[in-house]
Amino acid sequence: MARTRPSTTPQPGGPDAARLPMTEVPLPGVDPAWSRTVTVASTAPVEPVPGRRRRWHVLDNAASLEAAGLTPRGTVLAVHGNPTWSYLWRDVLAAGTDPANPWRVVAVDQLDMGFSERTGLFRRLDDRVRDLGDLTAELGLDASDGPVVTLAHDWGGLVSSGWALEHQDVHRATILTNTAVHHDNAEQIPASLRLALAPAAHGLLTERTTSFLDVALALADPSLPREVRAAYRAPYTTRARREAIRNFVADIPVAPDHPSHARYEQIAAGVAARDVPALLLWGIGDPVFQERYLQDLVRRLPHADVHRYEGALHLLPEDRDVATPVMAWLADRFGPGPRRRELHLQRRATSRGDHVPFSAELDARRADLGLAVVDMAPSSGDAGAGAHAAPVRASLSWAELADRVDRLAAGLTGIGVRPGDRVSLMVPPGSDLTALLYACLRIGAVVVVADSGLGPRGLTRALRGAAPAWLVGIGKALAAGRALGWPGTRISLEALDPVTRRALGVAHDVPGLLASAPRPDLPAPDPDADAAVLFTSGSTGPAKGVVYTHRQLCAMRDAVRGTYGLTAGTGLVAGFAPFALLGPAMGASSVTPDMDVTAPKTLTARALADAASAIQATAVFLSPAAISNVLATRHELDEGQRPALELVELVLSAGAPLPEPLLEQLQELVPAATLHTPYGMTEALPLTDVTLGSIRQAGRDSAGSAVAGAGNGVCVGTAVHGAELGVTALRPDGTPGDEITTEPGVTGEIVARAPHVKDRYDRLWHTEHLSTQLPGWHRTGDVGHVDAAGRLWVEGRLAHVILADGGLLTPVAAEHAAQATPGVGRAAVVGVGPAGTQVPVAVVETVPPAQRPGPADPLLSGAVRAAVREATGLDLAAVLVVREHPTDIRHNSKIDRALLAGWAQDALAGGRIRNP
């Protein structure tokens, strides 16, 4: 991800970049007015003469604030680590001069580092804490009227935390980036630090050469520009000026007998004892301060706000724009008006209603011997044309499910699972997963559900981020977890032999848990406590964890049940895993078809019919990719299977917009069903609902003529009960405004609020902040408009809006027109070129698949262009063909348009054309 600097940052480099008096090296991003030196009397124990005055260099934006007539809301005390200097915080200094949110930022060069004095003394942790206190006393921060907030990176985290503990009268908040305040020796310190500490290499790497400095500067992604690397090296040009780099490494308190170990432990304990507001910003790819150090801080600061940056390395302030979230967080905590967290709690309070927990349905049906959950077995495929027996592998009655949940709840409690503990469930949809999920909810454990369709890398990111204390899995998941380092005490779904158990690190198994006697004394969970962390598909970046409380999960159930009338006794075929889990809470018998739910394209018409037959289904929930393959394989159905589909009364499809022709084909397969395409997302499902009949009429008046303001996109209907929708109009640059409107025809970002909207994103504070900039509303990231009848039309993703010379273009309507062209499968319309002058390009899959990617043949290109122009008035700049679109691996229906746009630009530039 490219790094985006705040717009207030001074010139980025070149011959006119700033230079400080102490160096001729250009310092891009630094305002010379920030640079100052301060002479301070030192009280550090290392000083041979108490009170010896030492010269400090700091970057301080106070002069800039004064020149602009701005009164700061407080002071940010920014402390670097080893081997950087105050230059690390230049973006935060610039951001602090924003008139809307002014903050004084004092970024220090620790003694012997940066451009501060070289004292020639070995300054240990305690000395550096005392040094920082001497400086802040000299600067008057110890008697500051406003709050002082520490901001630190690397070993600056430990030094600033020591200072904060000694200045609790003025210290009001902590911000930490990629640091550590403790190492428990359960694991070795990172390999790079072990190497730097090795006696044979220590001096050579840290002082006699620039190796340690060079390696540190290489821990950035993207790589630092040449002039930025030169700026970081500027204070460390000689061996004498690098002595403190060596000493800083040597002062790492690895062993209990290390001279700094006692002070280190004292600071670590003190951090855990305070409850001041805290923000933790972390580059997850850091090989030095790894995620284990973040988890340690989360345990010490459970109240902290956290934002994890996937892909960022050690030099987080260089890899990502941290100034923006830092200033947003400060405004949230100390700015005028109510704090965002308070507004969030107010939203929770106003959304409260009658709370009926998930377990209530099970409690009410303990004597019911009817089917609750059915697991399908693979079909033999040799059924005749007569009566057809659906291949059922296993099933649970309502009475059996209730008993199993009770026993699992008691067993989990018995092995130490407590309310609030996170439990990762790596179990395929079916009766086992259903019972485990309901048992966790009963005891107040937080279920973590990350779809295996994310792939090993995506799953590892998700599980490490959610940090579950327990992991329940099938053998394949346990083996992957062992190899990939997934967190959590292992619980096997099946009993294992002793050798396999040891090899996989399994501590417990589900059969052992089921041997427990039910416990009637288990207290009901707090309705507003966390209940689940559900991961998004990862189709718009790394998968995000979405946190729901018990109340919000139940509100989701109620919204689905109320919208579709899924009453007790409904038979539900869930080809979309979340609804297999919601089914029992609604009193519906549920079955997952014989398919790989992580790859919806694996669902066949035969498997769907068998599942429907197993429970006499009246309702079916599928993803668009699943529906496409069901239609592609419908010729395989035999006469014994068709009657089961003819009994279906309701079909739901969500995950991506479905064009009307595809729905028409589906209607032929399930002739008695009403077809619904609800609109929603992991963060809130459903938000709207529409039927095929309504879609047919959505863009037409009573005479069949087109209705103005409709048609640009796909109609997803009106809001479900309890939900409110609106849009915030797009500015010319494609960014959304702040005023919510339902005025017909205004294209903007779709915003929503409902009792079943997520509580928050998990450990993604800044993402959550951006999604809730309109207090009480969720910014969806989708764009669309409302028509004159109050129906919502989705036009695409905010990130996929085309910034053309003539204005903003949205892709969905053009894509659907292209897909209606004979010979075209799926289509994506992307913008190619610089923002403001982008041109629309269609990239299509062909039927049959194209053998070579590249420009479409003239006949196909002309047909697609004409279809798009007739439907939307849009002139495509080009039509390209691919064998298959790059898609997210979870839904197989959401096209990776960002990747595709880059591919299209390269293809049109005349380079060698490869598959995207």
3-state secondary structure 481-513: HHHHCCCCEEEECCCCCHHHHHHHCEEEEHHHH
Instruction: Give the per-residue pLDDT at 725.
Output: 97
Instruction: Give the per-residue pLDDT at 707.
Output: 43
Look at strands 778-786 and 807-809 and give their pairing: unpaired
Q: What CA–CA distance (Å, rounded) separates 102 from 426?
A: 47
Instruction: Give the per-residue pLDDT at 343.
Output: 64
Residues of the chain with pLDDT under 70: 1-17, 186, 337-353, 380-388, 539-540, 577-578, 655-658, 697-711, 887-893, 911-913
How far from each other are the two terminal CA atoms of the chain, in whole angstroms? 18
Q: Is the dihedral of CA 842, 845, 851, 853 positive or negative?
A: positive
Instruction: Give the per-residue pLDDT at 337.
Output: 59
Instruction: Give the per-residue pLDDT at 610.
Output: 94
Query: By the 8 A CB rule, do 868 and 876 touch?
Result: yes
Instruction: Give the per-residue pLDDT at 13.
Output: 42
Instruction: Give the per-residue pLDDT at 344.
Output: 62
Q: How far is CA 587 from the centre of its chain?
A: 32
Hey, what are 259's tokens? Answer: 């001279």
Hey, what are 298's tokens? Answer: 């989360």
Q: How many CB atoms lie within 10 A of CB 806?
A: 6
Query: By the 8 A CB rule, do 494 and 509 touch?
Result: yes
| Nearest Cα residue to 446 out of 548, 302, 367 | 548
The 10s digit of each residue's pLDDT in 569-599 is 899 998 876 677 788 889 999 998 998 877 7
Q: Is the dihedral of CA 28, 30, 31, 32 positive or negative?
A: negative
DSSP of 691-741, one letter per residue?
A: BHHHHHHHTB-TTSPBPTT--SSEEEEEEPTT-EEEEEEEPTTS-EEEEEE
What is the helix (H) or strand (E) element at residue 207, kind and residue range? none
Residue 57, judged by CB atoms within 10 A of its CB (0-12, 13-18, 19+), counts as: buried
The domains found in the chain, sorted by start residue, are 37-188+261-334 (3.40.50.1820), 355-372+398-551 (3.40.50.980), 687-754+778-800 (2.30.38), 802-916 (3.30.300.30)
The 10s digit of each residue's pLDDT in 894-903 is 778 888 888 8
Q: Is the dihedral of CA 625, 629, 630, 632 positive or negative?
A: positive
SS3 41: strand
Instruction: Give the per-residue pLDDT at 892.
Output: 46
* pTM: predicted TM-score of the whole model, two decimal places: 0.90
DSSP of 774-792, one letter per residue?
A: STT-EEEEEEEEE-TTS-E
Q: What CA–CA distance (Å, rounded) separates 453 from 459?
A: 8
Instruction: Give the per-residue pLDDT at 1.
Output: 33
The 10s digit of each residue's pLDDT in 674-688 is 999 889 999 998 999
What is the helix (H) or strand (E) element at residue 576, kind and residue range? none
Q: What CA–CA distance (Å, rounded) separates 694 from 705?
A: 15
Give 843's strand partners: 828, 880
Give all strands (DSSP E) within 232-339, no chain letters: 278-283, 305-309
Q: How far is CA 766 from the centre of its chain?
A: 10
Helix ranges, 9-85 (H): 62-67
| Nearest Cα residue to 494 out of 516, 517, 514, 465 | 514
Amino acid at 243: E
Hey, what are 786's tokens? Answer: 């409302």
